[in-house]
Amino acid sequence: MEKIQNKIELSIKDFLVSGESFDLLYDSKREMLLTSPQPAVQELAKYYKSENYISHTDEHKGLMASLYQMVKKYSLSKKLRLITSLNKGTGSLLDIGAGTGEFLKLAKEYDWKVQGIEPNERARSFAVEKDVRLKESIDELSGNSFDVVTLWHVLEHLPDLENTISKIEAFVKPGGVLIIAVPNFRSYDAGHYKNYWAAYDVPRHLWHFSRESMKVLFSSEMELIKTIPMIFDSFYVSLLSEKYKRGKNFSIKGIFVGLWSNIAALRSGESSSHIYCFKKEN
């Protein structure tokens, strides 16, 4: 990354695991925030060691876990329809940060040829139970290419951003599609909750993107063809933010903040999270 231009005076606590605090630094050229200090790569795994880190489990116990799994089930079918539409049919699919393999399991059932990458050992073990075998590292699939490559709330977790983006782009066939979902730190709910905004999720989230940053991070080979709001994210993130702020497992206020964030986004275009769809030139 190039030299950081400014420092955001915002200190964010790791509410999930360590209780440590991290600063967010502003990169004015890329219109994004950076977590500082960033843990060394070999230290990252310890920040994921929590029973409450839902994306690495199939847990349904507790209100937040139940809501997450319910929305995930609905979202999986929407994701499948999206990739099938953009690819104009089935084909080869790589899911980076595949978690417990739910998305690849569904895609496989609909005749996609699937591969996945997931660094977390526990999540990979859940995927095996679904007959989905995941690679541990992005480098294990070096030299392969796919019709569709997806990263569902994953890019913000990946170290060495510029080099990793180059590797991700190389996985996309000419004419293929790259789909990336990430939170948006310029959303209404982010501004409302500030240092309690759950989607900062430091230090697991190393980078924090805006719509503008997603237009400049990728090479000229990748054309941004569609940006899609993720309307459920504002509700989940707002509920979790209320929990961090007030210690409540459920808050009506969180529902209203999530709703208002979606309403505000109708005018501003700044949803809590977006899906960015890129097409690689032939």
The pLDDT value given to residue 35: 96
Give the pLDDT confidence of 40-74 residue by residue, as tens digits: 999 999 999 887 765 555 555 565 566 666 677 77
* Spatial CA neighbour of 197 closest among 245, 256, 248: 245
Grade residue 37 by pLDDT with cuts at 50, 70 and 90.
very high
Give the domain ranges of the chain: 6-280
Q: What is the pTM of this model?
A: 0.92
Which of the given ranges, 46-60, 212-226, 241-255, has the highest pLDDT on average? 212-226
The answer for 253, left when phi > 0, alpha when psi is -120 to 50, beta otherwise, is alpha
| Percent of the chain topping pLDDT 70 | 90
The pLDDT value given to residue 15: 95
The pLDDT value given to residue 62: 60
Once rounded to an integer, what is the mean pLDDT over residues 234-261? 93
Average pLDDT of the chain is 92
Strand partners, 152: 181
Once rounded to an integer, what is the mean pLDDT over residues 146-166? 97
With 0-12 CB in 10 A as exposed, 13-18 as middle and 19+ as buried, what is 196? middle
Per the CB < 8 A criterion, the answer to whether 168 and 178 are in contact is yes
| Percent of the chain topping pLDDT 90 | 84
Residue 265 CB-half CA count within 13 A: 28
| Pairing, β 32-36 against β 207-208 | antiparallel
- Give kind and range of the element (H or E) at residue 280: strand 273-280
The dotted CATH code for 6-280 is 3.40.50.150
The pLDDT value given to residue 73: 75
Longest Cα separation, the chain: 51
Grade residue 1 by pLDDT with cuts at 50, 70 and 90.
very low
Q: What share of the chain is helix, strand, coil (3-state, %, to 5)?
A: 45, 25, 35
Give the pLDDT confidence of 163-179 residue by residue, as tens digits: 999 999 999 999 999 99
Per the CB < 8 A criterion, the answer to whether 278 and 174 are in contact is no
Grade residue 90 by pLDDT with cuts at 50, 70 and 90.
very high
